[in-house]
Amino acid sequence: MGLDETRSFTLTRPVAATRSDVFDAWTRPELLAKWYFNPQFLPPDEPITVDLRVGGTWRLIMAYDAESSAATGGIYREIVPGKRLVFDMGAVDGCPASTPSAQTQCRWYRSRSTMLQTTPRR
């Protein structure tokens, strides 16, 4: 995809954690559960799954209320522990759908975390 066929945004924020700790927060289900969910949402009924290997997936369910929930997750494309994590966003029956619609790249530096997400234009 060329630049005119995609759109992207970058989030950068300071973090008071080591690169290894931030990597673990993205890749260990018990840590992902502590920060990923909106505290106003219900706790998920299904466990978070993480298959941390290139081609593996991660998936979680966000329960908005008793009647509404959505799956999200991704397919890992590149894994460099403590430095870089690249995955295509998408989950079966999820938001976005399993056809990957966005690529997310997470990088960690000494005191900041950067996330770049690129999506196709529609």
In the block, residue with structure tokens 């870089």: 84
Inter-residue contact 62 to 41 (CB < 8 Å): yes
pLDDT of residue 61: 86
pLDDT class for 109, splitting at 50, 70, 90? low
**The pLDDT of residue 95 is above 50:** yes
Greatest mean pLDDT among 6-15, 29-38, 48-57, 99-108: 48-57
Question: 85: which strand partners?
Answer: 79, 106
pLDDT of residue 1: 46
Question: Which is it for strands 69-80 and 6-14: parallel, antiparallel or unpaired?
Answer: unpaired
- Cα 115 to Cα 8, 19, 43, 60, 95: the distances in Å are 10, 13, 25, 19, 19
Predicted TM-score of the model (pTM): 0.76
Q: What are φ and ψ of residue 57, in 5° steps?
A: -125, 160
Q: Which domains does the chain have, with CATH numbers?
A: 19-120 (3.30.530.20)
Two structure tokens written together for 101: 């619609």
**The pLDDT of residue 78 is above 80:** yes
